[in-house]
Structure 1
Amino acid sequence: MFSSQEQSILGGIVIFYFLFLFAISFYINKKSIKTYDDYNVAGRSVSMFPLILTFLGTAIGGSTLLGFMTNGYNFGMGQHWLNFSIFITGVFMMFFFLKKIRAYGEKYDMVTIADYTTLRFGEGARFPTVISILIAYCAITGMQFIAIATILNLTVGISITAGIIVSWIMLSIKTYYGGMKSVIWQDAFHGTIQTVGIFILFIVVIIASGGWSQISENAAALGEGANLSVFSISTTEVLVYLLTIGGYQFVRQDLWQRFWAAKDVKTASIGYWISIILALVTGIFVIMIGVAGKYGLDMGEINPTLAYYAISEHVFNFPMVIVMIIALLATVISTADSFFMAGASSIVNDVIRPRMEVQDDRKLLKYSRLSVILVSLLALVLALYIPNLVDLWVTGTAMLVSALVAPVTFGLFWKGTTKIGGTVGMWVGLFVAVGWQLTGHPFGIHPVFLGLPISIILTVAISLMTQSKNAKGQLEKAAL
């Protein structure tokens, strides 16, 4: 795709870019990161502009830019349901969840979702929450390793496996030093680059394709006009996207942490609302670029997984291709380090901290950094095991949704949810989803179609059965 000279130039730029980001992380580490809260929730003082862009930078990752475009190229406009699923649940999150989550975080100085589930359901809920978070976030972090590996494969010419290992090393070192403060400020920079880059690519591709009417004619001539309909997708696929990638929005630890990192609830609300609209528009553009690339550009046969690179190279000269590679790097990195932090927070806050006799802030900061390394190792294994972007994303989110969505949602909105109901719902939902995944989806049933309903039923049923016992116990205590 690129000549050896072009590969050398691109490789040098990629290396320089990582060194630049590492320098920023190291600087912020020296100047601003003094406490455990600084490292994990940016001191709970983030203002509007960086908050909007860190929401956006985290939402639009390698799986979105590369995976969405590949799916759009392969399967057509029906893949918008990937994007709609995120937006629909994002709207629910905005209007029904955000203020409750923020209020709990402010009152109890929460750092992770397990802080909430433990408060609501007792210490027995902490462990299944941590396992679910780690499975999901290690999988999603692994996605970013794969995305960067494809960039390195094309720019430097190294294998995907070697690229995954190199990206693991570079991202781990950068995140180890920077913490959440570095992540958020770099996301502000990355979010700007990726949004402008995707918008420019969309406009140029549509013009180069001759407009949407020409794209429609070309698709019809190939007998694939149905692929231009948003309904060119099965109901099962839509439900999988809604229940996994969509449902995951309710229990995204990185999202909860940003609600808590904002300087106030108004900043969190406005910032999140703007970001989900921008993310929706960006996702629409990305999928339409993939569709237009297939039916509007005369590129011949290409590898669909390389659609982003092939389309960029087809419509731009080499200097602009460099800009698009930087936009892609910005997109991937802004997501990767955010998920690093979300997973690492669970280890230090929910596994190490409760076992410390003395809450020493310096030790917690040290353990936070070491937790980043542990998360990176788990993510590396998953990236090597499932080297497919969207599959890895759906797999990770299915585990998280099956375990946490029902107990967390009922816990927030139904006072009758009991400790044992929530905890059993978590454990069984998680075990069913993981077991079904490991056995290879028997009968073609996706794990989330079993794990989530079972978790809902058990959370509700056991809560109803144990409510009277809880009430009786409280009355007996009151009598004493």
Structure 2
Amino acid sequence: MNSFYILLIAYIIAGTALAIYSRKYGFRTHEEYFIAGRNVSGVVSALTYAATTYSAFMMVGLVGLSYATGVGAAAFELFYLVGTLFLLSYFAPKMWRFAKENGVVTPAEMLSKKYGKAEGILASLIPVVALIPYTSAQIIGVSLILEKTVGLTFQNALVISVFLIAFWALIGGLRGVAWTDAVQGVIMLLAGFLALALALNFVEGNVLEESSSLGSLLQVPNKIWTVERFIALTVPWFFFALTNPQVVQRVFIPKSEKDLKRMVVLFGLFGLIYTFIVTFMGITLKIATVQGNFPEISYRDDVTPVFITKIPEYAGLIIALSILAAAITTANSIILSLASMISRDILREEGVFYGKIFVVILSVIVGIFAYFRLSYIVELSVMSSAILLCLLPATLGVFSERIKRARASIAAGFVAAIVFKLAGVMLYGVYALIVSSLVLAAENIKNREVR
């Protein structure tokens, strides 16, 4: 597929040009480099929020999950969307105002302004640990696509992905990433419609009528989507908007509250459409498999890569590029957020030199982690959000006059998540959230007694 190399080079040139152009606004301060000077329009904010959220997790991970487990995957993702819109509608204006009034650049700094340095440092270190798996999932998704469709080895595809993540984050900062996100968000949506249309061609007859052949895959709960499994996956995803720093930081970037509200509405519309596309695509391909028109796929993250090899070359090129775009933009957004917290909240750097150094270091670490492919994309993504649930009580406490301390809550929740995960407890994220909430209540009761 020599055509893909031409398309890839054009994509790299265009993305690099946008990143370089964004430099004219300057990167002398953390505010300029990491949150685009708080001067992003509602439309671009919505597209960068969507592109940061909807990554290789969707077109690779969720398509595969829908193929393997049925409509439960759609319900799982819709819970995320409903939770995100609910939380953003209520908390995003509060966070935006708090950040603007207090000069906050990172999510961890929001906690340090409220509680103190200890909470800010914990809220910086924990995401570094938790988000490595999630970021690696993006690289895995891209590398699988390039391996199956272009003939690149998984390792070479991984190197290209890591390079682009670090390169665009370095030269463009958040403004450059936001602009490329806007373009990539449009590519993702258009490619999604194309992919679904082509998937429907694999099915003989009416898809809705033929869906009866899937049996229990059309029900929730079923032998795959047990109640416990559904809760374990959906609770971390439901609170994603308040626990994952790369999306919390997106709340700081709109230039006005009007643009912030526009961001939430447009993101909701994008999310609803894109969720329908990818989940219906996975279910459609499963119907085609039952009919004998599409291969039986055992490793579910291979569903989309195999699909791309079965469709016309031009379409495969566009869909492969959209997945590459989705994964790159999510990964460099995460890397920028983590680097900003290390630089600003831990090292207390005033410039951006160390922030850029950690962009490179973190990109390499993510690449190494992705190389080993320790789990499926969806599970890696949810694991990161489950660990980050320990930050939720403290984040909510920012807007409560009664909550004065949160360090023990954050630490206890993090330790609980790791211990329960290692012990093989399916609801480890939920139990960690309960531990974190109880400890937050206890330490603030004790604090009031001391006062």
Please name the residue that 1:289 is paired with: 281
Q: CA deviation at 1:110?
A: 0.6
Q: Distance in 2 between matches of 1:117 and 1:48?
A: 25
Please name the residue that 1:324 is paired with: 319
- Assess if the C-alpha contact under 8 Å between 1:39 and 1:365 holds in 2: yes
Q: Distance in 2 between matches of 1:159 and 1:204?
A: 26
Q: Residue type matched to 2:47 in 1? A: L
Higher Rg: 1
Q: Which segment is superposed worse, 48-57 or 327-336?
A: 327-336
- Assess if the C-alpha contact under 8 Å between 1:149 and 1:164 holds in 2: yes
Please name the residue that 2:407 is paired with: 423
Q: Residue type matched to 2:230 in 1? A: V
Q: Which segment is superposed worse, 175-184 or 460-469?
A: 460-469
- Assess if the C-alpha contact under 8 Å between 1:67 and 1:389 holds in 2: yes
**2:349 equivalent to 1:346:** no
Count the aligned residue pairs. Answer: 443
Q: Which runs of 5 or more residues in structure 1 are unaligned?
A: 1-5, 471-480
- Assess if the C-alpha contact under 8 Å between 1:259 and 1:265 holds in 2: no
Q: Distance in 1 between matches of 2:72 and 2:265?
A: 25
Please name the residue that 2:208 is paired with: 213
User: How do residues 7-406 of structure 1 correspond to structure 2 at under 5 angstroms?
Assistant: 8-29=2-23, 32-206=26-200, 208-209=202-203, 210-217=205-212, 219=213, 224-232=214-222, 233-296=225-288, 298-302=293-297, 304-314=300-310, 316-353=311-348, 356=349, 359=350, 364-385=351-372, 386-401=374-389, 403-406=390-393
1:17-59 CA deviation, whole Å, 9 max, x = no partner? 2243233323333564444322101111101221121111112
1:234-260 CA deviation, whole Å, 9 max, x = no partner? 111221122222222212222222221
Q: Distance in 2 between matches of 1:63 and 1:185?
A: 21
- Assess if the C-alpha contact under 8 Å between 2:53 and 2:247 holds in 1: no
Q: Distance in 2 between matches of 1:155 and 1:310?
A: 8
Of all paired residues, the percent bearing the same amino acid is 19
Q: CA deviation at 1:207?
A: 5.4
- Assess if the C-alpha contact under 8 Å between 2:66 and 2:279 holds in 1: yes
Q: Distance in 2 between matches of 1:460 and 1:57?
A: 36
Please name the residue that 1:478 is paired with: none
Q: CA deviation at 1:169?
A: 2.2
- Assess if the C-alpha contact under 8 Å between 1:81 and 1:238 holds in 2: no
Question: Given the superposition, is the C-alpha separation of residues 245 and 382 from structure 1 closer, same or farther in structure 2, using an over 3 Å criterion?
Answer: farther
Q: CA deviation at 1:139?
A: 2.4
- Assess if the C-alpha contact under 8 Å between 1:214 and 1:296 holds in 2: no
Q: Distance in 2 between matches of 1:343 and 1:239?
A: 28
Q: Residue type matched to 1:343 in 2? A: L
Q: Distance in 1 between matches of 2:411 and 2:44?
A: 36
Q: Which runs of 5 or more residues in structure 2 are unaligned?
A: none
Q: Secondary structure at the match of 2:347?
A: helix
Q: Distance in 2 between matches of 1:168 and 1:240?
A: 30
Q: Distance in 2 between matches of 1:463 and 1:36?
A: 32
- Assess if the C-alpha contact under 8 Å between 1:37 and 1:43 holds in 2: yes
Q: CA deviation at 1:366?
A: 1.9
1:85-141 CA deviation, whole Å, 9 max, x = no partner? 311221221232111101110101111111111112111212210112212333222
Q: Which segment is superposed worse, 300-309 or 124-133?
A: 300-309
Q: Distance in 2 between matches of 1:269 and 1:282?
A: 20
Q: Distance in 2 between matches of 1:259 and 1:248?
A: 13
Q: Residue type matched to 1:416 in 2? A: R
Q: Residue type matched to 2:336 in 1? A: M
Q: CA deviation at 1:12?
A: 4.1
Q: Which segment is superposed worse, 232-241 or 177-186?
A: 232-241
Question: Given the superposition, is the C-alpha separation of residues 115 and 191 from structure 1 closer, same or farther in structure 2, using an over 3 Å criterion?
Answer: same
Q: Residue type matched to 1:190 in 2? A: Q
Q: Residue type matched to 1:428 in 2? A: A
- Assess if the C-alpha contact under 8 Å between 1:114 and 1:346 holds in 2: yes
Please name the residue that 1:473 is paired with: none
Q: Distance in 1 between matches of 2:129 and 2:15?
A: 27
Q: Residue type matched to 1:384 in 2? A: Y
Q: Residue type matched to 1:13 in 2? A: L
Q: CA deviation at 1:185?
A: 0.4
Q: CA RMSD in A?
A: 2.1
Q: Distance in 1 between matches of 2:25 and 2:125?
A: 33
- Assess if the C-alpha contact under 8 Å between 1:85 and 1:241 holds in 2: no
Q: Secondary structure at the match of 2:294?
A: coil
Q: CA deviation at 1:225?
A: 1.4
Q: Secondary structure at the match of 1:296?
A: helix
